[in-house]
Structure 1
Amino acid sequence: MANRPAVRRLSDPGAHKALGHPLRQRILRHLGVHGPATSTTLSRALGENTGTLSYHLRQLEHNGFIEEIPERSTGRERWWRQISADLRWPSAGEAREMDEESRQLLDEITEFKVEEELELARRFFTDHRRYGEWARASRGLTHMTSEELGEFFEAYMELLSRFRRTQEDASPGARPVFLRFFTMPATEDPPS
């Protein structure tokens, strides 16, 4: 069983800048899906030159999103892996405390992520039959207090951690699988 990664709130301006570049998002997704890589293998996969990738890899490393794998690195060839983390958007209170530049960067990241999430949803609804047993979905509606929703979310995160695997520690036959979870009120008005 995998250990539950530390919670990391995206309230740090450095993290916003590191995540605010679309190529860095592509790098993180590639490392998450395909496992460790070098700037050369990323160059082939992402169609970018190795110098550009090396710069962006250093930015991701500096901000704690990836790390070098010293035992695999030799000479100029450095291997990188994504650091397992429970990344969470800032709470409403944390967001209010952020400076304007940080809020703007977070909004830009959110906009990029919305497009990415919409594309995944389109793929699911268009191609779910093709994915067979690998495509699963659920929708629900319930009535909860904010505290109950917080408990539900933490239970979900615990379940996700229980099944979290990297490419290196996955079972034979395992495939990378996108998992998404979000909640929102079903009505605009809070209960009276």
Structure 2
Amino acid sequence: MPENQRPAAPHPQNAAGERILDARSLRGLAHPLRIRILKSLRHDGPATASQLGDRLGESSGATSYHLRQLATHGFVEDDPARGKGRERWWKAVHNGTSFADDLHTSSDPEVRGAANLFLHEIAGIHTQELSTWLATMHDWPEPWSTSGDLSDFTLNLTAAQLHELNEKLHAVVETYRAAAPESDAAPGAEAAQVRVHLHSFPRAHQAR
């Protein structure tokens, strides 16, 4: 096989099917619209550039450009089974994203800037999702209207214990992912797509 026809190396991912971001792929993803496009494809399913434009309030030209950039970095790909004629459908390649360990300690200003943009955008999406739930929770029938959770806890932990806590919480979530139906399957009468946010971080203690 000629050199330029060799299949691309698979992008690294973890056991949960999440893409592990390195410095290059992080820079390719760290744009507000690209993050929102990828979120929409993961949560709401495959779409065309025009459909994504309608979903996100953007022009189809903008979504088309950023879809191509996401494809260059291996985050999205064609969904030929859905395409009709010249209509091009896109789908997300991975279930989610996670940081490679060295991204948290990088001294490269460009990498740190991309990481900050990405994390702040994700935090904004979480805030928006939570606000939407609080505004619409009473529109859901029982028991959905009372099944959500908005809790916080303060624990005294070492860094190692915090890491262990996060690993255990992720493992619990993965047991429910494994038991869930395929994402392409129609939701059952008793099932709904559920968003789970896990935020854990140290804070400086304020002296009295």
Q: Normalising by structure 1, what TM-score?
A: 0.76
Deviates more, 1:98-107 or 1:135-144: 135-144
Task: Give the drift of 1:122.
Answer: 3.6
**Aligned ranges for residues 77-116 of structure 1 at < 5 Å?**
77-91=87-101, 93-116=102-125
Q: How many residues align?
A: 185
**What is the alpha-carbon distance in structure 1 between the residues aligned to residue 150 and residue 186 of structure 2?**
22
Task: Give the drift of 1:103.
Answer: 1.0
Task: Give the drift of 1:125.
Answer: 4.7
Contact 1:34 1:167 in 2 (8 A): no
Deviates more, 1:119-128 or 1:102-111: 119-128
Structure 2 match to 1:175: 192
Contact 2:26 2:114 in 1 (8 A): no
Q: Read off the aligned partner of 1:84 and give its amino acid letter.
A: H
Structure 1 residue 12 and structure 2 residue 40: aligned? no
**What is the alpha-carbon distance in structure 1 between the residues aligned to residue 125 and residue 88 of structure 2?**
28
Structure 1 residue 34 and structure 2 residue 51: aligned? no
**Aligned ranges for residues 110-129 of structure 1 at < 5 Å?**
110-125=119-134, 127-129=136-138
**What is the alpha-carbon distance in structure 2 between the residues aligned to residue 102 and residue 111 of structure 1?**
14
**What is the alpha-carbon distance in structure 2 between the residues aligned to residue 58 and residue 15 of structure 1?**
16
Task: Give the drift of 1:181.
Answer: 0.2
**What is the alpha-carbon distance in structure 2 between the residues aligned to residue 95 and residue 48 of structure 1?**
32
Structure 2 match to 1:138: 151
Deviations 1:105-164 (A, max 9, x none): 222222333333333344445554444145223333334333333222122222222333
Q: Read off the aligned partner of 2:71 and give its amino acid letter.
A: E
**What is the alpha-carbon distance in structure 1 between the residues aligned to residue 57 and residue 154 of structure 2?**
43
Structure 2 match to 1:156: 169
Deviations 1:77-108 (A, max 9, x none): 222222234422454x5333352111112222
**What is the alpha-carbon distance in structure 2 between the residues aligned to residue 171 and residue 162 of structure 1?**
18
Q: Which runs of 5+ in 1 are unaligned?
A: none
Task: Give the drift of 1:68.
Answer: 1.8
**What is the alpha-carbon distance in structure 1 between the residues aligned to residue 146 and residue 183 of structure 2?**
20
Deviations 1:41-70 (A, max 9, x none): 223322333332221111112222222223
Q: Which runs of 5+ in 2 are unaligned?
A: 1-13
**What is the alpha-carbon distance in structure 2 between the residues aligned to residue 16 and residue 53 of structure 1?**
18
Q: Percent identity?
A: 28
Q: SS of the counterpart of 1:163?
A: helix
For the aligned residues, what is the CA RMSD?
3.0
